[in-house]
Amino acid sequence: MDINQFIKKSRSITGDLKNFRLEDAPDSPFDLFTTWYQYAYDYGVEEPHSMTLCTVDADGFPDSRVLILKKIDERGFYFASGSESVKGRQLDNNPKVALNFYWKELGKQIRVRGTAVAMDRETNIGDFLNCGQTKRAFALTHKQSQPANTLQEIDEKLHEKEQFLLKNPNAINDNWIVYRVEPFEIEFFQARMDYKHVRIKYSLHESIWEKVLLWP
Ligand SMILES: Cc1cc2nc3c(=O)[nH]c(=O)nc-3n(C[C@H](O)[C@H](O)[C@H](O)COP(=O)(O)O)c2cc1C
């Protein structure tokens, strides 16, 4: 059977779908994110902090990849990455981004649009030093997203940096950046079996979040 038959037979909207109404949405999208995240976590959603980050390259082509959400506060959503990576260079050139969370177990999607702002050096260094050894060793290669000749080349470079870290456990890396995505728009999507999906979009107007129901 050709793969398109499997794609056609694949099921969607299989999660445990709860009711969600505009009246239930708080004034702040961060409060709603917090409630939804806590619920997803308690429910047992796998990797609820995995999110897709969309950036735009110098030619205006969008790009995307999965990252880990490190934290949120009322200013935004935080992630960390190397500034020399493809995304790092794209962010340097154009900080306009989108994030997407999809929690299929609950049929929930959260879409965020905003600007990625690099944090100060102290924050970045603190975050770097908190990373596990392998992550730090990889970051110290300064090679993320570059072409590699062989797996052996990667292993050898990683080993070299791990040895370096054993001797210099507090080595820092000025190319490790914590970014905060400061949103101007956040949409909460709750899927329903009857396709009357509930979509509530928050938009920031003069420091006030306004919310509106969207057609599914
Ligand atoms: C579940 C998961 C979590 C990830 N978390 C991160 C992360 O927090 N930071 C990061 O730089 N890359 C992370 N990655 C790797 C990115 O998806 C990506 O491959 C890498 O950052 C290079 O992206 P770029 O070439 O667009 O810069 C993660 C990948 C997966 C699948």
CATH class of 12-131+173-214: mainly beta
Residue nearest to atom 4 of ligand 1 (CA): 67
**In angstroms, rounded to a whole number, what is the distance separating the alpha carbons of residues 23 and 73?**
23
The band of 146, judged by pLDDT with boundaries at 50, 70 and 90, is very high
pLDDT tens digits for range 193-205: 999 999 999 999 9
Pseudo-torsion of CA 130, 103, 100, 215, nearest 10°? -160
Q: Is the CB of 70 under 6 A from ligand 1?
A: no
The Å distance, Cα 51 to ligand 1 centre, comes to 10
Burial 47-64 (b: 16+ CB within 10 A, else e): ebbebebbbbeeeeeeee
pLDDT tens digits for range 5-40: 999 999 999 999 999 999 989 999 999 999 999 999
For a ligand 1 pocket test, name from 81, 83, 97, 181 the mutation site with the most ligand atoms within 8 angstroms of its C-beta: 81
